[in-house]
Structure 1
Amino acid sequence: MSQTDTTPPLRDRVANGAFLTLMGLARILPYNRRVTVMGWFFAHVLGPLAGWRARIRDNLAKARPDLTPAQVAHLTRAVPNNAGRSLAEIYSGEEFTGRIHDADPLCGPGLPALEQAFAAHRPVILAVAHFGNYDAMRAALTGRGWPVGALYRPMNNEAFNRHYIPAMQAIAEPMFPRGRSGLAAMLRFLKGGGWLSLGYDQFDDHGALLRFFGLPTRTVLTPAELAIRYEALILPIAGIRQPDGLSFRVEVGAPIPHGEPAQMMQALNDHLEAQVRDHMDQWFWVHRRWKQRGNTD
């Protein structure tokens, strides 16, 4: 029996049903209102219930002990707000992607390098983080007809996957699930001149011990290793939410020179840190980025 033929556990089905009800109600609203309401719900309902506020405080105490209590309290609401807005955007389909395509928000010092890579059919590694809205970047690239793929880890809740993955695929394809078959397809795509977005900002138990906000943390080396192996351009890219809460600037960072993988990934960590310091509410401070090796999340 295939995974999609199995019946998810009752707990997963209940959680998925609650989410679909919430999203169904949100879709009744006009786009701008829908995104705003989902941000509010995550900030004031889901965030406290899920324990996100405590995790955000813990991470900020490590990385930004200089913040005032008022600043920390603001971020415990603003970070989930951005997450809720992002989810509403993902589930808005063409309403979201159409806005991105029309705006063509790509900018930054690395944009000419992307244009040259496309003209030369050169593989590209797009280093992405849980910052702003990751899917704004994918929509902006596909809006120009550029070949962007993504590696993803299916959610533990199979009932949720059945609509979440198609929602992401509607923004850009191809998408490659983690695992042997997905990895093989991903490497063929990259070798053929495709552009692959890879995350690097979560703790990786087998990663190199690098630094982020001056603190030691395990960082995956795969983006740099693949760039070297396939002679791919590698650069950071992020969809930065603008002050109106609805539009984006998709900033393409300068290419990272090939060298030692650990040095390349440290450069990406440093670039992300600078972006996060400028937009503290847009990085997902809920992740346990500085946990001890071997601890469970």
Structure 2
Amino acid sequence: MHKQLARAKARLREAAKPLGEAAVGAATIGMLRTTRYFDPVKTANLFGRVTRFIGRRLREDRVGRENLTAAFPEKSQEEIETILAGVWDNLGRFGAEFAHLDHIWDYDVDHPEKDSRVEFGARTKQLFDQLRDDGKPALIFTSHLGSWELPALGAVAHGLDCAILYRRPNSESADRAIERIRAVNMGTLIPAGRDAPLKLAEALKNNQHAVMLVDQYLTNGVEVTFFGRKTRANPMLARLLRQIECPVHGVRVIRLPGHRFRAELSEEVKPVRDAAGQIDIQGTMQAVTSVVEGWIREYPDQWLWLHRRWR
């Protein structure tokens, strides 16, 4: 009897799954469409306040606190709570800005004197122009820091041919809604999956620039040290580099006061090689991870501490 009841519950959950996904997709579409009718700055302020209020009552808040306490043992509990509040604020603002992705990047390279929400320094512009004009492929990594969807917008807006790895939502209808926004001007989108490495390698062979997030835990990844603790990183970037050697750079878009952003490209991250001169997968991913850690130490309240980076 117990087994029959368990099977019936399983069948019921499976039957209800499409309805749940449809509801999530409808809610996502509705939220994105509604948000677009309102001023993006005011909406970002509102979403920041809402997520600060709601987020502090969620399980992820405890995860973030534990992560921050372990990463910054020298900080007081008051400092930890201040950073965590900023994390929720940044997440809310990111959600509001996502609905306006098609016009949030307003930097005019031909008229840099014009007021813009986006700024970047002379060295970043020099590195960007070099990547765009050298006719070569490149690997570009980023992290869940600041406004992490904006680097792709900026790249395409200024002529950098990109293939961007992204993770699809579990809901197909939500995925379609989000993909329609991302597809406005974000380059070639490659969903994460078994064939993603092949597609990214093909993009590099075609002299495109492969872009990916590198700061999430991967069970079967290579071991790296992050904030003094062992964790696992996705080795895809280093494995692609073994196939097609090319420059590696990091990119971040930091949130500034006054609803502004600063885009920054790192200097080239040199790969680590083994005794035979071949790309060392683990060593190279450690080099990349160390760059990301340096970014986060500068702006700890703008990184997504809410997921389990250490297991």
TM-score tier, shorter chain, comes to: 0.7 to 0.9
Paired residue for 2:229, among 215, 218, 243? 215
Q: Give the C-alpha shift of residue 103 in structure 1.
A: 5.7
Q: In structure 2, how many angstroms separate the alpha carbons of the residues matched to 1:177 and 1:50?
A: 29
Partner of 1:12 in structure 2?
Answer: 21
The structural deviation recorded for 1:228 is 3.4
Task: Give, in whole Å, the separation in 2 of the partners of 1:24 and 1:169.
Answer: 16
Q: Which runs of 5+ in 1 are unaligned?
A: 1-5, 292-297
Question: Which AA in structure 1 matches 2:74?
Answer: D
Output the amino acid matched with 2:89: N
CA–CA separation in structure 2 for the residues paired with 1:117 and 1:48? 41
**How far has the Cα of 1:180 moved from its partner?**
4.3
Tell me whether 1:140 sits opposite 2:148 in the alignment: no
Counterpart in the other structure of 2:61 = 53
* Superposition CA RMSD, Å: 2.4
Partners in 2 of 1:108 and 1:220 — Cα distance? 32
> Which residue matches 1:295?
none
CA shift at 1:108, angstroms?
Answer: 7.1
Residue 34 (structure 1) aligned with residue 47 (structure 2): no
Q: State the secondary structure of the residue aligned to 2:169.
A: coil
SS of alignment partner, residue 240 of structure 1: strand
Matched, 1:170 2:170: no
Partner of 2:132: 118
Task: Determine the structure 2 residue equivalent to 1:294.
Answer: none
Once the two structures are overlaid, the 10-residue window that deviates more, 25-34 or 180-189, is 180-189
Secondary structure in 1 matching 2:216: coil
Q: Which residue of 1 aligns with 2:268?
A: 255
TM-score using structure 2 length: 0.83
Secondary structure of 2:105's counterpart equals helix
Residue range with higher mean Cα deviation, 33-42 or 23-32: 23-32
User: Residue 73 of structure 1 corresponds to which residue in structure 2?
Assistant: 81
Paired position in structure 2 for 1:273: 293
Give the 5 Å matches for 1:84-95.
84-95=92-103
Per mean C-alpha deviation after superposition, the further-off stretch among 88-97 and 56-65 is 88-97
Partners of 1:97 and 1:171 within 8 A in 2 = no
Compared CA separation, residues 219 and 167, structure 1 to 2 (3 A): same
Q: Are residues 1:287 and 2:307 paired?
A: yes
SS at match of 1:155: coil
Paired residue type of 2:47: M
The aligned amino acid for 2:78 is A
Aligned to 2:245: 231
1:199 to 213, 226, 235: 213
**SS state of the match for residue 154, structure 1?**
coil
Cα gap change, 1:23/1:114 in structure 2, threshold over 3 Å: closer, same or farther?
closer
CA distance in 2: counterparts of 1:134 and 1:100, whole angstroms: 20
Shift of 1:215: 0.7
Unaligned runs of 5+ in 2: 1-14, 110-115, 273-279
Give the TM-score normalised by structure 1: 0.86
**2:53 equivalent among 44, 55, 64:** 44
* 8 A Cα contact 2:197 2:240, kept in partner: no
Match of 1:9, SS state, is: helix
CA deviations 1:69-105 (Å, max 9, x no partner) are: 2222223321121112112212113331335875663
Q: State whether structure 2 residue 284 is matched by structure 1 residue 264.
A: yes
